[in-house]
Amino acid sequence: MTKPRVLISDKMDPNAAKIFEERGCDVDVITGETPEQLIARIGDYDGLAIRSSTKVTPAILDAATNLKVIGRAGIGVDNVDIPAASAKGVVVMNTPFGNSITTAEHAIAMIFALARQIPEANAQTQAGKWPKNDFMGVEVTGKTLGLIGAGNIGSIVAARALGLKMKVVAYDPFLTPERAIEMGVEKADLETLLARADFITLHTPLTDQTRNILSAENLAKTKPGVRIVNCARGGLIDEAALKAGLDSGHIAGAALDVFQTEPAKDSPLFGTPNFICTPHLGASTTEAQVNVALQVAEQMADYLVSGGVTNALNMPSLSAEEAPKLRPYMKLAEQLGSLVGQLAHDNLTRIAVEVEGAAAQLNPKPITGAVLAGFMRRYSDTVNMVNAPFLAKERGLDVREIRHDRDGAYNTLVRVTVGTSAGDRSVAGTLFGADQSRLVEIFGVAIEAELTGYMLYIVNEDAPGFIGRIGTLLGEAGINIGTFHLGRRDAGGEAVLLLSVDSPVPEDVLKAACALPGVKIVKALRF
């Protein structure tokens, strides 16, 4: 049997190549090639192991006629065209947890650098000055650290900060009261955190919900003299507003390891007093680079030799026998998870996945994994079916699987229920034919709809004239309606409308829809 061939195209710890060889792969280490050289070479390989230098473009994928897996030693996969890889049937893996400690330690280092103005004091001292009286720092002991994002890296930062005798206040939609107690932090909403924190550090992915989470408006709500650290993702902070806050003195200091545009060779923040920056060094330690190199080699070798799948971004963890039966259910489950995640995402304490009928006869793990992948995708840019259960557990979510042998109204049914501060909220779906997924219930209202593309979710008073008003509003905005689905509990009571539309609905149109008579909730969805 021919051994799988792997190309390591970026500099990586030498032990990675040894792991490939020990597990039955032939490996070549050829780094620093141009895209043209890689295109000429890649057709000979089954696996491609990379860091951040190699850019895996559609042109490279077109030439990769034998490629089965791409492994990124690290978390970010911006240098891989994942849709193109998926279309070619190439699995894309990363190592999302190998550099967590390193990144957390960098954030702590930034906190100390801000507190004692170390970079500027160092520069002036080495310039021959002795500015002993020019730098009056602050202690971190007893100060309040505001943690935005309490996941894997955020929880490590919290532990280190508590060891420094800081108080930690955390904002994270997934952080349960039980998990907060376990971490030793105080759970708070964002406004409370902004008002109380002496230091703020961010540890959240960049999504539509977190982009500019520290906007000009939110920065104005911070405590005077606050110090801000971002070692997570560029774009979480409005950089122009941050500079204005530093210039005014409202913000005492800021330290960025990441920028909205990278490489950040020209930024208005450069040269601003009390501003510190590093060139995206969060994962740059010897230990972290060894960890991610060894992990990616292990994952890729397992896949190429035995078919095992770990930390894949575009492929579920499935055996060959289960896949054909489970795929339609997994699509339905992911859609239901995405729907409930988009509609009920605050103060979540638990999530239950129930299956009945034909679905109850299948392995529930991939179905639950698909639900969690859809549910978590709104908040994480690296979530997949493999790491979604880990991320949910890390945030203290109580995940339950319930199997019913009973016969119901449908031949097969999947129900997803989340516990919120306002009570349980559930959605349910079924399969029509062998593989056509359909929503059949949303928050207690019977409604049949296909979840696809751009959609609008509207809750309104059941009264004459509403359908005409919403149709007119969308029509005048140039938004074409694809499908129209209605449901209600009682005549004249509360009604639910699900619209599929051909394009995203702008914010001003959403606000106009909210202002229509009888409207209670308007939410843009995407599947």
In order, the DSSP letters of 162-221 are: HHTT-EEEEE-TT--HHHHHHHT-EE--HHHHHHH-SEEEE-----TTTTTSB-HHHHHT
Most confident of 110-114, 387-391, 467-471: 110-114
Place of tokens 């060139």: 279
Domain boundaries, the chain: 5-97+287-306, 100-277, 322-443, 452-527
Q: Can you state the percent helix, strand and coil of the chain, rounding each to 5?
A: 35, 25, 40
Strands 436-442 and 423-432: antiparallel
Question: Is residue 389 over pLDDT 80?
Answer: no
Most confident of 1-15, 320-334, 489-503: 1-15
Q: Residue 166's pLDDT is what?
A: 98
Q: Residue 19's pLDDT is what?
A: 96
Q: Residue 525's pLDDT is what?
A: 94
Arithmetic mean of pLDDT, 213-242: 97
Strands 436-442 and 445-449: antiparallel
Q: Residue 345's pLDDT is what?
A: 65
Arithmetic mean of pLDDT, 153-170: 97
**Quick count: other Cβ atoms within 10 Å of Cβ 177?**
11
Question: Is residue 379 over pLDDT 80?
Answer: no
CA distances from 451 to 87, 194, 234, 312, 369 (A): 22, 37, 32, 24, 19
Question: Is residue 515 over pLDDT 90?
Answer: yes
Q: Residue 392's pLDDT is what?
A: 80
Q: How far apart are CA 228 and CA 199, in angstroms?
A: 6
Mean pLDDT of the residues in the chain: 91
In the CATH scheme, what architecture does the domain 322-443 have?
A: 2-Layer Sandwich (3.30)
Contact 187, 175 (CB under 8 A): yes
Does domain 100-277 fall under CATH 3.40.50.720? My reply is: yes
Q: Residue 318's pLDDT is what?
A: 61
CA distances from 506 to 213, 269, 456, 479, 512 (A): 19, 31, 11, 10, 10
Q: What is the pLDDT of residues 170-199, one digit of tens each?
A: 999 889 899 999 999 999 999 999 999 999
Arithmetic mean of pLDDT, 281-287: 90
Q: Residue 385's pLDDT is what?
A: 66
Read off the tokens for 121. 């004091």
Question: Is residue 320 over pLDDT 70?
Answer: no
Give the gyration radius of the chain's Cα atoms: 25
The candidate with the shortest Cα–Cα distance to 94, out of 112, 62, 117, 71, is 71
What values do phi and psi take at 80, rounded to 5? -125, 130
Q: For 5-97+287-306, give the CATH class.
A: alpha beta
Helix 286-306 vs helix 14-22: angle between axes, to the nearest 10 degrees?
Answer: 20
Q: Residue 322's pLDDT is what?
A: 66
Question: Is residue 270 over pLDDT 60?
Answer: yes
Q: Which of 89-98, 148-157, 315-324, 403-412 comes out lowest in average pLDDT?
A: 315-324
Q: Residue 217's pLDDT is what?
A: 97
Most confident of 179-193, 364-378, 401-415, 485-499: 179-193
**Residue of 87 and 311 predicted with greater confidence:** 311
The strand pairing partners of 425, in sequence order, are 418
Q: How far apart are CA 162 and CA 164, in angstroms?
A: 5
Enzyme catalytic residues: 233, 262, 280
Q: How far apart are CA 29 and CA 17, in angstroms?
A: 8
Q: How far apart are the first and last CA of the chain?
A: 42
Q: Residue 327's pLDDT is what?
A: 83
Burial of 8 (0-12, 13-18, 19+ CB in 10 A): buried
Identical topology for domains 5-97+287-306 and 100-277: yes
**Residue 524 zone, left/alpha/beta (φ > 0; ψ -120 to 50; rest):** beta
Q: Return the percentage of the chain with pLDDT > 70, whole number.
A: 96
Indicate the SS3 state at residue 107: helix
Read off the tokens for 410. 């449908």
The candidate with the shortest Cα–Cα distance to 176, out of 422, 352, 419, is 419
In the CATH scheme, what architecture does the domain 452-527 have?
A: 2-Layer Sandwich (3.30)
Query: Could you give the dihedral angle defined by the CA atoms of residues 442, 444, 446 and 452, in that order, rounded to the nearest 10 degrees?
Result: 0
Q: How far apart are CA 92 and CA 314, in angstroms?
A: 6
Question: Is residue 387 over pLDDT 80?
Answer: no
Q: Which residues contact 177 (CB under 8 A, 6 or more apart)?
A: 187, 349
Q: Residue 10's pLDDT is what?
A: 96
Question: Is residue 91 over pLDDT 70?
Answer: yes
